[in-house]
Amino acid sequence: MTDNGSATQNSPHSGKYSNFRDPVGLLKRMLLSGNRAAYDALLRAGLAVGVTPLDWALHSRERRRLAKASLAHPSEPQVLIVGPPRSGSTLLYQTLARYADVTYLSNLSDLFPLSPITATHLFQRQTKLRRKNFSNYYGQTAGLAAPNDGFAVWNRWLGRDRYVTPESLSDEMSDNMRRFFAAWSEQFGKPFLNKNNRNAFCMQLLAETLPEARFVIIRRDPFFVAQSLIEARAQVQGDKDRPWGLASTEEHASADEPLGYVNDVCDQLIKIKNRLQQQQAGVDSTRYVEISYESFCQQPETELQRIAESIQLLKLDNELMAQELEPFSVSADLRLSKPEQEQIERRFAAVPAWHIQTKSSKVKETP
């Protein structure tokens, strides 16, 4: 990136899916999923190619906008949702986008990686949520107005690998990041909301670079996160042995270790837990709020109010919540085989101070 955010790659979409091992198989599985968010993701992938010329055309306007952005005055807060993948972070993101008075990177703005601010401003009607929709497909949401992880923007400063984060940023990159959010704030005048699991590994870096950043840390019973990650490997990568998600590895995947992928997923979550705790310790406690997936599903309005109370300038639409917000079903079905379930329990048994519900009494044989 240059000072004003110009691209350094040949294509704004190059490398976008570099962490996916089986794109052809993934395409087939998405088509067979029956999930609207999966279909929308495929349509957007095709649409992105078609709008690339417009993105380039808008880029000069975006550069001028960034160049004029003032860094002298505080911007609106950046509300950043972080947590392990498959922890309920997307659901929380969708819910806050629906009921909080915020702006965010949408599926439409993701089509314009070179000019997201300009495109979002030009197509504001298309980026307004008109009805609630909380479905998603492994983090992919349905509809152009739905919230997006925003990798196209975060990659500018954090790199294209979705599974790793830099230890530091150059002064130029730090300035670029502050300038982007200053320009976003000047254009829209509301808190900026985003969820990106990778940001859990660089909370301190983001807190230092963005003085207005506030974090919402979501956690979920690790047993069910592990189960969901194993399923994601099979669905997204086409093979349980193939890594998927932040901090994933394939160190134990081998014919000699039939449940090696279970150990890899458990190690992945232990690493995320330790890294997130380390990052959290380096951020002032007034700048983050913690919630659990289970509590959020059971009492979403209460948890949203708690988030709003801890983040200045974040306002909720209480009337709309009263009209339509209801508790969510807590996903707690046991879908893995008995050996897989027992291996997860064994792997986590040695982890100190980690709340995990006892599953042994509920373990059932799954083909």
- Domains of the chain, residue spans: 23-349
197 in Cβ contact with 232 (< 8 Å): no
- Average of per-residue pLDDT across 160-189: 94
- Mean of pLDDT over the chain: 89
Q: Write the single-letter amino acid at 97.
A: A
Listed residue (301, 102, 116) closest to 214, CA to CA: 102
What was the pLDDT predicted at 125?
74
Cα-Cα end-to-end distance for the chain: 50
| 23-349 classified as CATH 3.40.50 | yes
Question: Which band of pLDDT confidence, cut at 50, 70 and 90, is reported for residue 1?
Answer: very low
325 in Cβ contact with 303 (< 8 Å): no
More confident residue, 23 or 21: 23
227 burial via Cβ count (<10 Å: 0-12, 13-18, 19+): buried
- Average of per-residue pLDDT across 39-46: 93
State yes or no: pLDDT of 239 exceeds 50.
yes
- Average of per-residue pLDDT across 278-294: 97
Question: What is the widest separation between alpha-carbon atoms in the chain?
Answer: 62
272 in Cβ contact with 248 (< 8 Å): no
105 in Cβ contact with 154 (< 8 Å): no
What was the pLDDT predicted at 366?
39
Which of the listed ranges 63-77, 198-212, 340-354 does the model predict with the highest average pLDDT? 198-212
Q: Write the single-letter amino acid at 30.
A: M
Rounded Cα distance between 320 and 315, Å, is 12
Alpha helices (runs of H) in 81-217, residue ranges in sequence order: 89-99, 116-122, 151-158, 171-188, 203-209
pLDDT tens for 313-348 read: 999 999 999 999 999 999 888 999 999 999 999 999
What was the pLDDT predicted at 126?
65
Q: Report the 10 Å Cβ neighbour count for 34.
A: 8
pLDDT above 70 covers a percentage of the chain that reads: 90
- Average of per-residue pLDDT across 3-21: 43
149 in Cβ contact with 195 (< 8 Å): yes
153 in Cβ contact with 147 (< 8 Å): no
What was the pLDDT predicted at 2?
33
Q: What is the DSSP secondary structure assignment for residue 234, as one 8-state letter?
A: I
Listed residue (271, 154, 166) closest to 213, CA to CA: 154
Q: How many CA atoms lie within 13 A of 152 on its CB side?
A: 23
Rounded Cα distance between 81 and 63, Å, is 27
State yes or no: pLDDT of 4 exceeds 80.
no
Question: Which band of pLDDT confidence, cut at 50, 70 and 90, is reported for residue 128?
Answer: confident
Rounded Cα distance between 208 and 211, Å, is 6
Determine which of 14-28, 72-86, 158-172, 248-262 has the lowest per-residue pLDDT on average: 14-28
Strands (E), the chain: 78-82, 103-104, 136-137, 140-141, 192-195, 213-219, 288-292
Rounded Cα distance between 106 and 83, Å, is 20
pLDDT above 90 covers a percentage of the chain that reads: 78
More confident residue, 108 or 363: 108
State yes or no: pLDDT of 13 exceeds 60.
no
Listed residue (68, 133, 126, 83) closest to 269, CA to CA: 83
State yes or no: pLDDT of 249 exceeds 90.
no
Question: Which band of pLDDT confidence, cut at 50, 70 and 90, is reported for residue 6?
Answer: very low
Phi, psi of 210 (to 5 degrees): -120, 95
pLDDT tens for 148-169 read: 999 999 999 999 988 889 999 9
What was the pLDDT predicted at 174?
96
What was the pLDDT predicted at 3?
35
Q: Which two tokens stand for residue 171?
A: 């002064």
State yes or no: pLDDT of 206 exceeds 50.
yes
What was the pLDDT predicted at 355?
57
State yes or no: pLDDT of 359 exceeds 60.
no
Which residues make beta-bridge pairs with 82? 217
- Average of per-residue pLDDT across 349-367: 55
Question: Which band of pLDDT confidence, cut at 50, 70 and 90, is reported for residue 358?
Answer: very low
145 in Cβ contact with 126 (< 8 Å): yes
